[in-house]
């Protein structure tokens, strides 16, 4: 799933897929974790700020482009559209998945949690989910709420400690635990 950069001036995004004939491409949570690790390494080395890295994640995985807030209709169309990078559900914790692209929902609320105070981020999540309940004919999504709450919490932690904590959080809380940890092994 190779893609071009979407955040202006940040250089190429981490390459996720291999060339034909190479090793199999990463997908799902493994691909997301690889991208987050790459961005965290660039932040650690001083090549990106945490804000730049989060803008990249928002652009690529949630189609949230804060620079377009001045054009509300464009911004809302983007948020309703498919993001440039879609990874699928492979390896994501099943309790957080209710559609084919859990990285999108998580990333959106990671950003919300980073930029808004906790109370406002939680209100936004509830408002978004209530709007979805109405939009989808009374279908409530507990996995979406759990995924969004995880994103908000991780956003607050990134705000406090920096982006370098995010790979560990993603690996520990977004990835499905190994079978031996689930009790079937």
CA distance 178 to 19: 29
Q: Does 61 reside within a domain?
A: yes
Residues near 80 by Cβ (< 8 Å), separated by ≥ 6?
none
Residue 22 CA to chain centroid, in angstroms?
27
Q: Does 2 reside within a domain?
A: no
Give the pLDDT of residue 77: 84
Q: Does 109 reside within a domain?
A: yes
In the chain, which residues have pLDDT < 70?
1-24, 180-185
Give the pLDDT of residue 9: 42
Q: Does 103 reside within a domain?
A: yes
Give the pLDDT of residue 183: 60
Q: Does 1 reside within a domain?
A: no
Q: Which domain holds residue 42?
A: 28-178
Which contiguous run of DSSP H or E holds residue 16? Answer: none
Give the pLDDT of residue 136: 81
Q: Does 10 reside within a domain?
A: no
| Number of independent structural domains in the chain | 1
CA distance 94 to 91: 8
């Amino acid at each position: 799933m190779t893609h071009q950069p979407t955040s202006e001036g940040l250089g190429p995004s981490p390459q996720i897929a291999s060339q034909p004939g190479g090793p199999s491409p990463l997908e799902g949570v493994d691909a997301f974790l690889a991208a987050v690790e790459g961005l965290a390494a660039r932040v650690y080395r001083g090549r990106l700020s945490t804000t730049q890295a989060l803008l990249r994640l928002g652009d690529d995985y949630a189609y949230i482009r804060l620079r377009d807030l001045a054009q509300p209709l464009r911004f809302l169309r983007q948020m309703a559209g498919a993001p440039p990078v879609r990874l699928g559900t492979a390896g994501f914790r099943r309790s957080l998945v209710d559609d084919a692209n859990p990285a999108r929902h998580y990333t959106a609320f990671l950003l919300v949690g980073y930029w808004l105070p906790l109370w406002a981020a939680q209100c936004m999540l509830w408002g978004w989910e209530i709007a979805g309940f109405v939009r989808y004919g009374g279908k409530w999504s507990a996995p979406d709420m759990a995924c969004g709450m995880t994103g908000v919490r991780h956003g607050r932690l990134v705000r406090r400690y920096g982006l370098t904590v995010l790979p560990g959080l993603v690996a520990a809380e977004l990835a499905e635990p190994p079978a031996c940890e689930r009790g079937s092994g």
